[in-house]
Structure 1
Amino acid sequence: MYEVRVEGSDTFNCKNNDDSLLSHLEQQNIEVHFHCREGYCGACRTKLISGEVEYTTDPLAFIDDDEILPCCCKPTTDIKIKLY
């Protein structure tokens, strides 16, 4: 179980690590812009402030070094993120 801290919002725990980070955010009623859910479009691009994630599928969308795609990743440590 990993703690997810969303800048400007609540902190919550990811209990089921099989779900994507996007799914966990949605379960917490935290609004995230998305389209494809597969790492192609980049609409869910999010800044990773601290911590680490792993991708369940390789993202094809362009992201900067400090960004992640919640639709196709899951935390591997406690993380802090900033939604755009």
Structure 2
Amino acid sequence: MAFNITVEGRKIMFLDEDKNILNALERKNIDAQFHCRDGFCGTCRCLLKKGTVEYAQFPLAFIGDNEILTCCSTPTSDIEIDIHG
């Protein structure tokens, strides 16, 4: 099933081959911060404004309420994120 990601006013489609939200952002040349890609460092932390995500393995980096790590999460619904928040 395909879901939309809204970021910076742009809607992009999350594709199965993206594997995670960060890959979808990179595919569309959206400059998102990252470092480890494994959920350890938290650099890719962003605000989840709307929708839901899941993790194949819960990240080790701290994430607060309404925050996600784009490097290791996938949408389970249409989502809206703030990568600068």
TM-score bracket for the superposition, by shorter chain length: over 0.9
What amino acid sits opposite 1:22 in the alignment? L
Contact 2:18 2:24 in 1 (8 A): no
In 2, the alpha carbon distance for the partners of 1:50 and 1:17 equals 23
Please report the RMSD computed on the Cα atoms of aligned residues, expressed in angstroms. 1.2
Q: Name the CA shift for 1:69/1:83 in 2 (closer, same or farther; >3 Å).
A: same
The within-5 A match list for 1:4-83 is: 4-6=5-7, 8-16=8-16, 19-83=19-83
Q: TM-score, normalised by structure 2?
A: 0.91
Q: Unpaired runs of 5+ in structure 1?
A: none
Q: Name the CA shift for 1:44/1:61 in 2 (closer, same or farther; >3 Å).
A: same
Q: Unpaired runs of 5+ in structure 2?
A: none
Q: Which residue of 1 aligns with 2:3?
A: 2
- Shift in Å at residue 10 of structure 1? 1.4
What amino acid sits opposite 2:3 in the alignment? Y
Q: TM-score, normalised by structure 1?
A: 0.92
Q: Name the CA shift for 1:68/1:39 in 2 (closer, same or farther; >3 Å).
A: same
- Shift in Å at residue 75 of structure 1? 0.2
